[in-house]
């Protein structure tokens, strides 16, 4: 494992106008690691992701990705450095076909020796292959989520971020996503996962950060989180 984190966030503070949302957030992710941001709704998880990606610029703090400070970089520059997002709400292009949605994002930003290609995405998601020429708007919610994941993977990122990727999906589709995330981890893909299914996150992830009202309330390993159900009740409402 490399000494330098893939992503290091230090003292992150972000606000919308006069309303401050993040208060000195600190966490890191190493290459090949799976990390989570967890907490109740409205605690700042999505704002943290938006700040990482340059979509909602931070006011203070440092974001270092692959040894490079990025908190003042534009969102498109950060994406090209090798961070990909599966956003909450999917946000696919409804008027493009499945194939066009994927081809528009095709890149090998991590110089992967065995990169995700259109063919490999279709092999991973047979339902997308069967609907390659259908418009995004014609897909089911589960298919749209698969497309959003495929669109992120086809950039071949160093870090893949998934914000509520299993939200509102049928149980079978959710299971398919959890299986895919486990396979990605086994292949060495670094992941940052925001989700509410704590037991699944414990099984998947290496380290966890609980956010409460824009601050880090707790950080630790899966074993530590699994052993302390009081944390679940206090910060996660489960």
Give yes or no for a contact between 185 and 204, defined as CB atoms under 8 angstroms apart. Answer: yes
CA 132/CA 102 separation, integer angstroms: 10
pLDDT for position 89: 81
- What's the CATH number of domain 7-236, 3.40.50.300, 3.40.190.10, 3.90.650.10, 3.90.1010.10? 3.40.50.300
- Residues of the chain whose pLDDT is less than 70? 1-2
pLDDT for position 90: 78
Give 69: exposed, middle or buried? Use CB within 10 Å, 0-12, 13-18, 19+.
exposed
CA 207/CA 29 separation, integer angstroms: 8
Domain boundaries, the chain: 7-236
Look at residues 153, 167, 97, 94 and name the one whose alpha carbon lies nearest to residue 123.
153
**Is the torsion defined by CA of 37, 14, 164, 127 positive or negative?**
negative
pLDDT for position 15: 94
CA 153/CA 118 separation, integer angstroms: 10
CA 97/CA 101 separation, integer angstroms: 6
pLDDT for position 224: 96
Task: Quick: pLDDT tens for 137-176.
Answer: 999 999 999 999 999 999 999 999 999 999 989 999 999 9
């Amino acid at each position: 494992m490399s000494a330098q984190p893939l992503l290091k966030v230090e003292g992150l503070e972000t606000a919308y106008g006069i309303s401050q949302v993040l208060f000195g957030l600190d966490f890191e992710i190493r290459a090949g690691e799976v990390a989570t941001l967890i907490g109740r709704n409205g605690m700042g998880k999505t704002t943290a992701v938006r700040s990482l990606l340059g979509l909602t610029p931070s006011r203070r703090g440092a974001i270092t990705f692959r040894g490079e400070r990025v908190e003042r970089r534009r969102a498109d520059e950060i994406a090209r450095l090798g961070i990909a997002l599966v956003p909450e709400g999917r946000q696919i292009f409804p008027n493009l076909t499945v194939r066009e949605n994927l081809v528009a994002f095709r890149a090998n930003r991590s110089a992967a020796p065995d990169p995700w290609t259109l063919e490999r995405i279709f092999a991973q998601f047979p339902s997308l292959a069967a609907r390659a020429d259908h418009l995004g708007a014609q897909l089911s919610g589960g298919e749209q989520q698969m497309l959003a994941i495929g669109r992120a993977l086809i950039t071949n990122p160093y870090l893949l971020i998934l914000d509520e990727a299993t939200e509102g999906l049928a149980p079978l589709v959710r299971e398919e996503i959890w299986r895919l995330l486990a396979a990605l981890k086994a292949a060495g893909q670094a992941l940052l996962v925001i989700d509410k299914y704590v037991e699944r996150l414990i099984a998947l992830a290496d380290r966890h950060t609980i956010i409460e009202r824009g601050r880090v309330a707790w950080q630790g390993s899966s074993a530590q989180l699994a052993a302390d159900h009081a944390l679940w009740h206090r910060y996660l409402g489960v």
